[in-house]
Amino acid sequence: MAENKAAVRQLRYAIVGAGMAGLLAGVKLRQNGEEFTIFEKADRLGGTWRENRYPGLTCDVPAHAYTYSFEPYPEWKAYYAAGPDIQVYFEMVADKYDVRRSIRFNCEVAGMVWDEAAHEWAVTLGNGETQRFDVVIAASGVLHHPKMPVIEGLESFAGRAFHSAQWEDDAPIDGVRVGLIGNGSTGVQILTAINKRVEKLVHFQRSPQWIMPVPQFPYSDEDRAAFRADPALMDAIRYHDEYLGAIRRFTDGITDINGPEIAQIEEICRLNLENSVRNPELREKLRPDYRAACKRLIYSWCYYEEVQNPSVYVDTGRIARIEPEGVRMTDGTFHPLDTLILATGFHADRFIRPATVTGEGGRSLDDAWARRPTAYFALSVPDFPNLFLLNGPTGPVGNFSLIDIAERQWDYVDQLLDRLRSGAERRIAPTRAAHEDYEERRIAAAKTTIFGSGCTSWYLDAEGVPASWPWSYDAFADAMKAPVFADFGLPDEGSAAGRLEEEASA
């Protein structure tokens, strides 16, 4: 149990979202003996693992690495965990750490207004109720507002059409003709799961993906018994040199686009395509015209095998319109379909919105983010005191565990909260100068990463700038060790931006 830091001043905490990051914040506050309320818009916890229930749903981080550091889990069924198993894990954590009693389900946050005189947030809920809090933790996540494609005639489709995050369990799949639009991680996973169930599966993919081959294997009853008996066996997987080396290879590769790490990634992906797809025509359909990792790299152990199933047809053309009986391509080709699955992603720039957030001086978050969503070190925004974002804009979104990222972010935020707990401060927000300095350096670096090397992806903002952390994983870990209080206008020395400059020039 952590030492109680709340003895001087009992803070009132609101946490927005009962997904991975919201539960983390709840566990940490409960361990510290502090009270809080988690507002969850849905009727269950779990975040993206509650929202997404499509066949084949799997995390692309090894299960023992996609686990809270304080709660290893011997019950994982496979090296890469399926979505339902991850949901079970989060439900268990909420109960074990007594977080569930502090969650208000079916309770969406509609708006927040900072009271400058009282130094507190007035939080208004969807039912019109307003409550007041000293601190708001925005843990609403990134991928929870489904993005529907704009395609002529979509509403005219006579069969079942639905977004992958709004999966319809009774939709016809078995023995019928299915269209699948989109081939990010979701589209790839759905294809691998249903291609043997359908009569025909047409996979519409305007832009092929590079596929990183990874191993997948089940954990046996004997494996799980061994994990229970010796938790060090789980740590050996989580902290294995090969896994950590792959993380560093990837983050070094995206920041040094002419270096050996990205060259190795590209070669692995190229050989995976060359050696796995037998049909030359299909192989060329599946060959991207951009560099590996420019789009979010897809990890799969079976996509190339499954996409070669005779039931699958890959169409890389442009959709002209959707008609009642199927999909018409611009070249005139018509695909008759019974069911249409839209694996078209999410609006990745919303975060806590559509809640309206009004900070100091009446400044709205929509205005602050009019050009692009941004936050100082992905955690806080000038003029919005005592509002902290976990997995907020410009944070690391590469192929490594967001649980690890959120835990590091919480350690950073917790040090800022100590200033509020002690009564030394009533409001904490970064200065505009510190934020502008961080963002200027981040944008300059982001443009030189692999994400900015020439492709379209959900990583890019409206101006084509990668909306991501552009430095190494180790630089992020170092930055999260301790806040530079001077950047919040508080007594301290040094500059966070200066640390990044040193890292970039090293």
- What's the pLDDT band for 400 if we cut at 50, 70, 90? low
* Average pLDDT of span 133-141: 96
For the chain, percent of residues with pLDDT exceeding 70: 95
Q: When comparing pLDDT for 280 and 247, which is higher?
A: 280
What mean pLDDT, rounded, does the chain reach? 94
pLDDT at 398: 65
Three-class SS state of 262: helix
* Average pLDDT of span 364-393: 96
pLDDT at 230: 98
pLDDT at 493: 46
Which pLDDT tens digit goes with each residue over 429-481? 999 999 999 999 999 999 999 999 999 998 899 899 999 999 988 899 999 99
Least confident of 283-287, 357-361, 392-396: 392-396
* Average pLDDT of span 400-412: 93
* Average pLDDT of span 247-273: 94
The answer to whether residue 385 scores a pLDDT higher than 70 is yes
pLDDT at 145: 86
pLDDT at 203: 98
Contact yes or no for 252/259 (Cβ under 8 A): yes
How distant, in Å, are the alpha carbons of 33, 320, 366 from that of 369? 35, 34, 5
- Characterize the bridge pairing of strands 339-342 and 177-181: parallel
The answer to whether residue 348 scores a pLDDT higher than 90 is no
**For residue 395, what are its two tokens?**
């944070």
The answer to whether residue 340 scores a pLDDT higher than 80 is yes
The answer to whether residue 111 scores a pLDDT higher than 50 is yes
Strand order in the sheet with 13-16: 103-104, 36-39, 13-16, 135-138, 387-389
Give the residue from 139, 110, 178 showing the smallest Cα distance to 343: 178
Least confident of 150-159, 202-211, 344-353: 344-353
pLDDT at 399: 56
pLDDT at 2: 46
pLDDT at 500: 52
The answer to whether residue 59 scores a pLDDT higher than 90 is yes
Contact yes or no for 468/474 (Cβ under 8 A): no
* Average pLDDT of span 364-377: 96
Helix 432-446 / helix 496-505 crossing angle, nearest 10 deg = 20
- What's the pLDDT band for 281 if we cut at 50, 70, 90? very high
pLDDT at 102: 98
The answer to whether residue 322 scores a pLDDT higher than 90 is yes
The answer to whether residue 504 scores a pLDDT higher than 70 is no
How many CA atoms lie less than 13 Å away from 231 in the CB half-sphere? Answer: 6
CB atoms within 10 A of CB 432: 12
Three-class SS state of 179: strand
- What's the pLDDT band for 141 if we cut at 50, 70, 90? confident
Q: What is the dihedral of CA 240, 245, 250, 253, to 10 degrees?
A: 180
Contact yes or no for 329/83 (Cβ under 8 A): no
The answer to whether residue 407 scores a pLDDT higher than 50 is yes
Which pLDDT tens digit goes with each residue over 18-56? 999 999 999 999 999 999 999 999 999 999 999 999 999
pLDDT at 248: 86
Query: What is the Cα–Cα distance from 59 to 63, expressed in whole angstroms?
Result: 8
Strand order in the sheet with 130-133: 130-133, 120-125, 109-115, 356-358
Backbone phi, then psi, for 300, in 5-degree steps? -155, 145
- What's the pLDDT band for 247 if we cut at 50, 70, 90? confident
